[in-house]
Every structure is written in C-alpha cells, then in structure tokens.
Structure 1
Amino acid sequence: MESAAERLDTARRTGVPCAPVRDLLPPGDLDAAYAVQTLLSDRLVASGRRITGWKIGLTSPAVQAQLGVDTPDFGPLFDDTAVPDGAEIPWGAVLQPRAEAEVALVLGHDLPHERHTVADVIRATAFALPAVEVVGSRIRDWDITAVDTIADNASSGVYVLGTRPALLRELDLRTAGMVLERRGEPVSTGAGAACLGNPLHAAVWLADTLARLGRPLRAGDTVLTGALGPMTAVEPGDVLEARIDGLGSVRAAFGRPAPEGDAR
C-alpha cells in the first residue's frame, strides 16, 4: 500500500501519469484501495490542506458494470481543489481531465448515525448548488479498475460550485434535468434519476458508509453527489457551463498550456 501511495503521489507532484497500482494490491481488494487513499489524503492534510467535504463516484450502473463493482465509491475534497465559478483552471492542474455536472449538497448538520434515511439527509442539508466536477487520473491513459480509481482518491481533480443556494423544499432532484454545454453546444445531458435514482440516495449511501468508518459527515461539508450524465473530455481553452433545473448554472473555464520556454 505504501508503494501504491508513493506511485500515485509521485504522479501528482511531477504531473506525469503513472502505471496502474492494482499490481501492488490484492486483486479486487477495495479495502486496500481505500487504505491507499487514506495514506494519500493524510499526506495532503499534513502538508496543510483541509478536507472540505466528499465526492461520490461510480453512481451510474453502467460505469459500475464496466469496472466490475456493484457499489459507488468516495473520496475527500480539499480546500485547494475548490475553484470559483468561472475562474480559470490552469491547464495541467488536473491530469487527463474530464468534466461532469452534479448536484452539490452543503450540510448544516452532522449525519452521525450508522443508518440514515432520506429525511435525515434533507433535514441536515442547508442548501444545494450546481457543480462541475473536473475529474482526473494520475494513472496513464485512464487504465483503471475500481481498485485504481479508489486508491487515486476516486479520480478527483477540482470542482466548481455555483453561487445561488437553493433549498431542497424547492427542488425535485430526481426529475431535475441537466445540460452541460461547451461554448453553447450541448456535450452531455441527463437528470437526477441517473445518480442512483436520486442524488439524495447517493448522499444517504455516503452518510452511512462514512459513519461506519468513524468519519461521519459534518456540518459545513460539501457533498458532490455524482454525475447526472456522461463525462465529457476537456481541451485547452474550453469553457463548460452546466445548467440544472431549479439550481441555475455554473461555469468551468480552462486555460491553455504555457508556451514552450515560458518560465512561468
């Protein structure tokens, strides 16, 4: 596990994608993969970064089937991976970036129980926001299994939140439609039902899982509940805008590589 963590951390620090880490771990051992994830997140916290919430991945049955699992996964979010709405994301900040639109929940109360209900999550949620998650992989060519993506912090990169909070009582997240546009052209569409049937179901799963691990969701946490539609590839200079019914819009803008020889 230490070797796997070092391989991934080296890729993060150097910006050079690495080989998969599944060869270093027991086949299909998700617990070992989460242990690697924890080693990496502990390094980041020790360096001064702060965990600000959690992301949920693998919420699509099709993606689960592709990776040979029947459950979502999760990873921590950090303060320095939160990008303001519309601010430029430097090219290279996320290795092999891809983008997806999601519903973000910001909690007003803790979720400490071993088993939660949808009502518990609704009661604990202060407000919802639209989000673009820019996922990335430290693993070369996205050659991943579930073990690889979990170890690699659930393939997290950076995330962008909208700035108009909405109350859950004003929303029907299951039927909320989503469109993700690149310079006005749709590149991904979907709805809340694509995320485990409802983004609130994904949040219940995360709350239960983290509570059993002794790391319950806390007031102030941001939860990225999972993609509402297919991921889209990202190119230098792209501007992506996600629109989600009832939540408004959010933009993710990408810079271009510095010219060769530029010392910046």
Structure 2
Amino acid sequence: MAAELMACEAERRDREPFTDEWLDLDLATGYAIQDHNLRRRLDRGERLVGVKLGLTSRAKQQRMGVYTPFVAWLTDAMALPAGDPIPQHKLIHPRVEPEIVFVMGERLAGPGVTAARAMAAVETVRAGVEIIDSRYRNFRFAAPDVVADNASSAAFVTGPIGLPPSELDLSLEATVIEVNGEVVDTATGAAVQGHPGEALALAANDLATRGHAIEAGQIVLTGGMTDAVSALPEASIACHFTNLGSVFLNGGKRDSDRRDNPS
C-alpha cells in the first residue's frame, strides 16, 4: 500500500480505496503506512516541518462520510510559496480549504494535553489554505484509506500576518472563501472541533500514541473550516479572515497534455 500510494502521487493517477478489497484494514495499519512513507520522503531529502489535521469540521465529515479526525505529516516540499500558482501539472483533482494555522513556540507532547495547554505552546497564529489531492478516485475513501494517504496531502500556503493567540478569539475568527469573486462558503473557527485549540490538543495526544510530539518551530494546520472547494485551473481563489488577513491563490494553468506528460 505504501509503495502504491507513493506511485499514484508521482504518476498522478487515482485508484479505488484499499478498503474495497481489504475489509479489515484498520487505522493502526493506516498510520503505519503513513509513517513509512514519511520516512521515504525524508530519505529523498524532504524535511519535516509540521503536522496537519483532517476532518476536524462537521462540514468535511458529513461530505466525506468519515466521522473521525486524524493527523498527518507536512514536509517542506508541500509548502507553496505565496504568489505561486497551484501546480496543476503535479496534481490529480485538487481542492482547497481555508484553515487556521499555528506556529509552535514550544514542544507539545501528549498524552493528556488539553486545549489550554496546547494554546499555551503556540507562538503565533496565521491564516492558511491547504490544497488537498486524494489518491483515491472521486475522493471516496474510508478512514484507514485516507490516513494511509497522509490525509490527502498536497500543498499549503500560509498568510503574511502572524498574531499571538492572546489577541484572538479563534472560535469567532471567521473566513470567507471566494472563487472568481463569488462567495462560495463561510465558517468560523468554532467549526474546527469547537475551537482550533481542541484540534491542536487532539493532534498532540494522537501523535503520543505513536511516540511522536509536535516540536517547537513546527506548523500545524488545524483542518478545513469550510467544505473543500475544487481548485479549477485558471480560477482566482481568495480566503479572507477576520483578523488574519487574506490568502490568494491562482488556479494555475490547465494541463491539456496530462496523459502524455504526467510529471
């Protein structure tokens, strides 16, 4: 499974979920596959920069039919510089979602981490947009499938404004996502487990079960606030936040020769 998922990513091809055939595939195995592929990424020169959460909002859970939040890895190869277009030539069927992003000031290790303890370890809060791209056809998967697939990781962008958490009420921090100037969805930080700090605590406690922690200096994407929006080529996408500024994305060029030149 690990090799197949990495091949799907490299070759830009999707597939049916493994749970269609492997009915007893469980989350523990999914995380083992995720960790194995992180080691492969690091071995090829990528650098671990943080973690991301998936399906922390009710909107995303209902859309995907998966009601378990989960944790995955971020590497420097996934960081999209501000102003760069979405790399359509590398992706299968990208979608975007606005997120509240934490930059950690202290190491955060479970078990037993509370939201208050988690927020005390945060140095700054930023706006962010994650570009997700499932290796499963039509984004259809069960929880173990998507955990193995590193929570549909592809790329992420963080906004230019960093504020201390003490200056924000993150449960009320709102976002508006626009595509080509039209509002397509809105949400507040309360959509993320009631408060993004709860998602951060969840991540630390989940990682502790596998012997990991969130290190100082790392970033944490706390999960999509709204439903994910298709990242169509040539689209103009903007996510506006109440206090954290705006993140703008260019949908990138249409990839007309995808089949002949998948790289």
TM-score range, shorter chain: over 0.9
**8 A contact 1:188–1:231 mirrored in 2:** no
Aligned 1:179-194 pairs, distance under 5 A: 179-194=176-191
Q: Please state whether the residue corresponding to 2:98 is helix, strand or coil.
A: strand
Partner amino acid, structure 1, of 2:192: C
2:30 matched residue in structure 1: 33
Gaps of 5+ in 2: none
Gaps of 5+ in 1: none
Q: 1:67 to 1:231 in 2, by over 3 A?
A: closer
2:231 matched residue in structure 1: 234
What CA distance in whole angstroms lies between the structure 1 residues aligned with 2:61 and 2:161? 32
The answer to whether structure 1 residue 92 and structure 2 residue 77 are counterparts is no
2:251 matched residue in structure 1: 254
Percent identity between matched residues is 34
2:118 matched residue in structure 1: 121
What CA distance in whole angstroms lies between the structure 2 residues aligned with 1:101 and 1:66? 16
What CA distance in whole angstroms lies between the structure 1 residues aligned with 2:256 and 2:55? 36
What CA distance in whole angstroms lies between the structure 1 residues aligned with 2:62 and 2:233? 31
The structural deviation recorded for 1:154 is 0.6
What CA distance in whole angstroms lies between the structure 2 residues aligned with 1:134 and 1:63? 14
Q: Please state whether the residue corresponding to 2:49 is helix, strand or coil.
A: strand
**8 A contact 1:175–1:192 mirrored in 2:** yes
Partner amino acid, structure 2, of 1:214: G
Q: 1:45 to 1:24 in 2, by over 3 A?
A: farther
Q: 1:62 to 1:256 in 2, by over 3 A?
A: closer
Worse overlay, 164-173 or 135-144: 135-144
Partner amino acid, structure 1, of 2:27: L
What CA distance in whole angstroms lies between the structure 1 residues aligned with 2:209 and 2:29? 17
**8 A contact 1:53–1:222 mirrored in 2:** yes
Worse overlay, 157-166 or 254-263: 254-263
Match of 1:157 among 154, 159, 170: 154
The structural deviation recorded for 1:242 is 0.8
> What per-residue deviation string (whole Å, max 9, x for no partner) do you get for residues 6-63 of structure 1?
2211111111212322246452511111111112211111111111101101112354
What CA distance in whole angstroms lies between the structure 1 residues aligned with 2:21 and 2:34? 14
Q: 1:17 to 1:69 in 2, by over 3 A?
A: closer
What CA distance in whole angstroms lies between the structure 2 residues aligned with 1:109 and 1:39? 26
**8 A contact 1:7–1:18 mirrored in 2:** no
Q: 1:180 to 1:41 in 2, by over 3 A?
A: same
The answer to whether structure 1 residue 197 and structure 2 residue 194 are counterparts is yes
Q: Please state whether the residue corresponding to 2:56 is helix, strand or coil.
A: coil
The answer to whether structure 1 residue 133 and structure 2 residue 125 are counterparts is no
Q: 1:63 to 1:102 in 2, by over 3 A?
A: closer
The structural deviation recorded for 1:96 is 0.9
1:174 matched residue in structure 2: 171
What CA distance in whole angstroms lies between the structure 2 residues aligned with 1:85 and 1:32? 35
The structural deviation recorded for 1:119 is 2.3
What CA distance in whole angstroms lies between the structure 2 residues aligned with 1:164 and 1:38? 32
**8 A contact 2:181–2:236 mirrored in 1:** no
The structural deviation recorded for 1:175 is 1.1
2:105 matched residue in structure 1: 108
**8 A contact 1:94–1:158 mirrored in 2:** no
What CA distance in whole angstroms lies between the structure 1 residues aligned with 2:63 and 2:26? 17
> What per-residue deviation string (whole Å, max 9, x for no partner) do you get for residues 107-137 of structure 1?
0100123111222222211101100001111
Q: 1:237 to 1:28 in 2, by over 3 A?
A: same
Match of 1:142 among 135, 139, 156: 139
